[in-house]
Structure 1
Amino acid sequence: MILCTGESLIDMVPENGQYRPLSGGAVYNTTVALGRLGVPTAYFWPISRDPFGEQLLRPLVEAGVDIDLCPRTDRLTTLAFVTLTGGEARYSFYDEGSAGRMLHPDEVPALPSQITALFAGGISLVPDPCGAAVESLVARERGRLPIMLDPNIRPFFIQDEAAYRARLSRMLPMADIVKLSGDDLEWLHPGASHEEAARAVLGLGPKVVLQTGGSEGARAHWAGETVFAPSFRVQVADTIGAGDTFNAGVLTSLSRQGMLTPEGLESLAAEHLLAALTLGAQAASITVSRHGANPPWAHEMTA
């Protein structure tokens, strides 16, 4: 069972002069996508008892995600108000004292024996105490569980860049798999090419660095030759949740191939990575073909 830990929130999306509340958050989206793809999945993140918390729980339950590790709290759900300018989204976060933001390292539970891999990341790595809580979980489980990290870097959310860069410098070497977009790579290594930046991250210790490029396809940088998988051509509605769904597809493929274990990651071959990239790209293509973060169900992947 894959455990996902990181933010869930409500995106307040403008619609006809008002705001429509949509469930979201990078790690939350990946969690829902994994469940829909039929992978045994659990989620660890505080969920508010407010109405938005109830809204967040429904898609998790519908996707079969185990939410037993999610503490309930009277703190409020994080809200992200979206402003669209020329088709580009800008966000204003209402996050101070929120349910997720206030997760403390001493609230990180012991993991059940059925947890076999860990996925973490998102904006939850930025502020404290929740950033320290996620870091402590990853540090505790590294080496015992395969760990995939997607920092999903959002510069507008970062208030203390030095502290955040320091956290990533500690966490990236702890991960077995790191997913980074082109924007992420440019932020991490300004002035370097995407290939150079990805190889620099690989040099920190991960076994695989996945580089996503939207319509330009995805690459896996590892000990061998770079593996490339093209994107699937579809009519794009929007790109919300595309990278999150890609993560779920990669994890699904590696799990099904029997490679999402410490031993499996040591024996990765190019064909394993190509299959993972391809399934990730296929899943993401379905998400971008419809509005919002609405990842595919398993039966849609075979249609």
Structure 2
Amino acid sequence: MPANDPTPAGLPTVGNTILTVVGESLVDIISDFHRPSAIQVHPGGSPLNVAVGAARLGLRTSLVTHYAEDRYGLLIEEHLQSNGVTVINGGTTPTSTALATLSADGAAVYDFSITWEINGASLPALAAVEASTHVHTGSIATVLPPGDQATLVLVEAAREHATISYDPNCRPAISPDAAAARQQAELFVAASDVVKASDEDLAWLYPERTPDETLAAWLALGPAIVALTRGASGPVILSRNGRVEMAAEPITVADTVGAGDSFMAGLISGLAQLEALGANGRQRLRTLTPDQLHALAAYANRAAAITCTRQGANPPLSAELGPLPTPSPAQER
């Protein structure tokens, strides 16, 4: 059930930002090419990883999610509580699982057994998003019935009071109809202020377009910022004020599990430090300078890089990442 303290001990809070993440929790069962006899079990799911990553970076974080009171659900609950994430649990069916098979280069291929429904927590979920500075969602929670429509309702209810972020984190094994997934993605893009996707997401959703063409098309739907992660090629951030591109940090990769989620958590934390979240921060979000966007990209890029040096979805603490670099007034002109 909910953790008593919404911020992990020893972590500073980022201003008055209150983050609510809406989305699936599951257990990653990891089989590693390099160690076939060593099966690992970790709490996971993209929204859960974003919630944990944001909490570790000092944001007061809640997660509207689904898991059961089974052994995997208890593992998830312990993980969330130990990281200071407040839980709003709306499900009763068995806890979802994802078998992640790591290839020789550390990339993960997934096989899912997933349920997504949050009807058991409709009222507390609505109260949480309406009291939030920022709401994040994405992944399976935005495409899998019956909970996908409840997720969209929560996002729409939050928009008057909060900024919104979205990461499609496409899973063709869960939602193999690319046309339907594309339609859902565009609904959430249009409802969002910040959107992040991977190059693999865009290649599957829009095989006939370049990633830059899709970023521009998504920006035209309404978000202030769209970001693209490209693995070893590094991220891109696009706004109406400019485009930032940078290389990935040189690291030794343990695996890539949770890297994109750490990038997303870094984006949210960085924007909180820039006071660019919430209804009062929306105008600032839309007027961030190229130098601020560069600092934001570097901060999120570093969060993802740290995660890649460790096994499993293990995002960095704020002490490891440090604060967002702040451009000088001369740089901002």
Common topology (TM > 0.5): yes
Residue 127 of structure 2 corresponds to which residue in structure 1? Answer: 111
Deviation of 1:302 (Å)? 3.8
Residue 236 of structure 1 corresponds to which residue in structure 2? Answer: 253
Query: For residue 274 of structure 1, what is the amino acid of its counterpart?
Result: H
How many residue pairs are counted as aligned between the two chains? Answer: 297
- 1:53 equivalenced with 2:69 (yes/no): no
In the TM superposition, what are the counterparts of 1:148-227 in structure 2 within 5 Å? 148-227=165-244
C-alpha change, 1:275 and 1:42, in structure 2 (3 Å) is same
Q: Distance in 1 between matches of 2:134 and 2:250?
A: 31
Query: For residue 3 of structure 1, what is the amino acid of its counterpart?
Result: T
SS in 2 for 1:157: coil
Q: Distance in 2 between matches of 1:164 and 1:110?
A: 25
- 1:246 equivalenced with 2:263 (yes/no): yes
Query: For residue 111 of structure 1, what is the amino acid of its counterpart?
Result: A
Q: Distance in 1 between matches of 2:229 and 2:126?
A: 33
| More moved, 152-161 vs 170-179 | 152-161
- 1:283 equivalenced with 2:303 (yes/no): yes
C-alpha change, 1:106 and 1:49, in structure 2 (3 Å) is closer
Query: For residue 212 of structure 2, what is the amino acid of its counterpart?
Result: E
Query: For residue 6 of structure 1, what is the amino acid of its counterpart?
Result: G
Deviation of 1:84 (Å)? 4.4
Q: Distance in 1 between matches of 2:163 and 2:307?
A: 26
Cα pair 2:66 2:89 within 8 Å, conserved? yes
Query: For residue 290 of structure 2, what is the amino acid of its counterpart?
Result: A
Q: Distance in 2 between matches of 1:280 and 1:263?
A: 21
C-alpha change, 1:188 and 1:163, in structure 2 (3 Å) is closer
Pick aligned residue for 1:94 from 99, 113, 123: 113
Cα pair 1:236 1:290 within 8 Å, conserved? yes
- 1:140 equivalenced with 2:157 (yes/no): yes
Deviation of 1:271 (Å)? 2.4
| More moved, 80-89 vs 229-238 | 80-89
Deviation of 1:116 (Å)? 0.6
Residue 94 of structure 2 corresponds to which residue in structure 1? Answer: 76
Cα pair 2:108 2:256 within 8 Å, conserved? no
Deviation of 1:283 (Å)? 0.9
Q: Distance in 2 between matches of 1:25 and 1:11?
A: 8
Cα pair 1:50 1:74 within 8 Å, conserved? no
SS in 2 for 1:90: strand
SS in 2 for 1:127: coil
Query: For residue 286 of structure 1, what is the amino acid of its counterpart?
Result: I
In the TM superposition, what are the counterparts of 1:251-290 in structure 2 within 5 Å? 251-260=268-277, 261-290=281-310
1:202-256 superposed Cα distances (whole Å, 9 cap, x missing partner)? 1111111101112222111111221223322111111110000001111111101
Cα pair 1:105 1:134 within 8 Å, conserved? no
Residue 123 of structure 1 corresponds to which residue in structure 2? Answer: 140
1:127-173 superposed Cα distances (whole Å, 9 cap, x missing partner)? 10111111111122224310010010122221444433222222211
C-alpha change, 1:193 and 1:131, in structure 2 (3 Å) is same
Deviation of 1:125 (Å)? 1.5
Q: Distance in 2 between matches of 1:256 and 1:74?
A: 37
1:29-55 superposed Cα distances (whole Å, 9 cap, x missing partner)? 111111111121111112311111111
Query: For residue 222 of structure 2, what is the amino acid of its counterpart?
Result: G
Gaps of 5+ in 1: none
- 1:13 equivalenced with 2:30 (yes/no): yes
Query: For residue 89 of structure 1, what is the amino acid of its counterpart?
Result: A
> TM-score normalized by structure 2?
0.83
Q: Distance in 1 between matches of 2:244 and 2:101?
A: 37
Cα pair 2:51 2:61 within 8 Å, conserved? yes
Deviation of 1:63 (Å)? 1.7
Moved over 6 A (4+): none
Deviation of 1:191 (Å)? 2.6
| More moved, 159-168 vs 174-183 | 159-168
Q: Distance in 2 between matches of 1:241 and 1:216?
A: 17
